[in-house]
Structure 1
Amino acid sequence: MLSATQAAFVADVEPRDIHHAIDRNVLPDRLFLRGDERRVAVEGCPLVAFYYASAKRLTAEERIAAICIVETRLRAAPSDDPWSRSTEDWIVHNDFLRIDLSPFVARAAQRWRLYGAARAMVVSDEAILSGTPIIAGTRIPVHDVAASLAAGHLPERVAAAYPSLSPAQIELAALYAKANPLAGRPRARPLLETARLVFEESVPRRPAG
């Protein structure tokens, strides 16, 4: 089961869409958990993506009916790897309609693999920065890197500030932070706090007037 923000990343929707899907019972009961910390099954992510992407072409009833048909198939043949299923498992025929959910599955599978790479890159050890999630092999907090990008710093500048990181690590840091945001109110102006200064230049002030 994924948190709402993790499921939102895999489904490529906003976290509020995940909460809406849970509140409106878009997904069958076995694919989500309510409570203080809502959860969505990995298999539910492409279904949520389909529900919102097809809103202009299908009614809510048609979309939910298609989801229920697909979920019945998934439940009848459980699998540890939802992405390995036959394409036919994700196609629904309803009278004259043919609804193919496989493109949403392919997209969710791609984003799931990216998220897996991001998780593998991040470690947490109480002996290092009191357990703050850091990029493996460094003492760089993953959320600091992501905050720098979110503050508008170009990837090139972030890479210069963190020369030990590869462009791929910087990209995955942003991805990880999006799926696992810090609790509480974010800082208004994130800074490159853990970066080291590699270049400094003084610029004379232009005379007033």
Structure 2
Amino acid sequence: MLKTRALTANEAAAASRVPLKQVHRIIDAGLLEGAVEVRQGTRVIDGPGLVALKLAYVTADVLKPEARRRAVQSVLNKPEEPVIRDQAVTVEVGVIEAELEQGLAEFDDAKAMVSTDPEVMGGAPCFTGTRIPVHDIVDMMANGDTIAALAQAYPALDERRIGLASIYAAAYPRRGRPRTPPWRAAGPKSSERLRLADVPSA
């Protein structure tokens, strides 16, 4: 059985590989009743709830709504059961737990490789031992840079840490407004006004 632990909706999405929108939809549908609580305005899901969340997601297109709801409820009521049987349906809960264990291990590794220090990059989460913000690397990957190319550009990082950066960023999104690019922050170099007639034609 998966070790009991509580994760926020963002953390659960990152560890379970269930898209955040689907996490909230599953909760809103009442499928995780009793396994979700709100702490300081944030939804938190417990251990059996994580298994039920993953089960609800992977069976969305396989089971009919009522059968899906019964299967999820069975996990919540009997989290120690490795197999769920409902009429002609059999669900291997152990397989789902194994996937979650791997996802949780990578999530823990992603957290462990990041540190924050008010004296370093304004307190932005950086790869431990560097001044490289994690979210900047994730933004570069979103813009098309490959893990291999980034590892070459940033010798202080290896491919595994770069790959784990996306997990960390999914669990802990960048706060506040996006940083202003340096070329925008610099401001105009001249404020001189010119008449259209004074501008030379091409």
TM-score range, shorter chain: 0.7 to 0.9
* Aligned equivalent of 1:145: 137
Q: What is the letter of the counterpart of residue 28 of structure 2? A: D
Q: Does 1:25 align with 2:30?
A: yes
1:176 to 168, 172, 176: 168
Specify the code of the residue in structure 2 equivalent to 1:47: A
Q: Distance in 1 between matches of 2:12 and 2:177?
A: 21
Counterpart of 2:36, as a letter, is F
Q: Distance in 2 between matches of 1:108 and 1:57?
A: 20
CA RMSD of aligned residues (A): 2.2
CA separation of 1:27/1:183 partners in 2, compared to 1, >3 Å: closer, same or farther? same
Unaligned 5+ residue runs, structure 1? 75-84, 190-209
Partner in structure 2 of residue 200 of structure 1: none
Size of the aligned set, in residue pairs, is: 175
Alignment identity in percent?
Answer: 30
Tell me how far 1:43 sits from its aligned partner: 3.0
Counterpart of 1:11?
16
Instruction: Output one character per residue of 1:7-60: Cα deviation in whole Å (capped at 9) or x when no partner.
Output: 11222211011111111111132x212473222224322321211221233122
**What does residue 77 of structure 1 align with?**
none
TM-score, structure 2 normalization? 0.77
> What is the Cα deviation at residue 188 of structure 1?
10
Alpha-carbon distance in 1 for matches of 2:64, 2:157: 47
Counterpart residue identity of residue 161, structure 1: A
Bigger-Rg structure (1/2): 2
TM-score (norm 1): 0.75
Task: Output aligned runs, 1:62-81, within 5 Å.
Answer: 62-74=67-79
Relative distance call for 1:186 and 1:39 in structure 2 (3 A) is: farther
Which residue of structure 2 lines up, in the alignment, with residue 112 of structure 1? Answer: 104
Alpha carbons of structure 1 residues 185 and 44: separation in structure 2 relative to 1, 3 Å: farther
Amino acid at match of 1:32: V
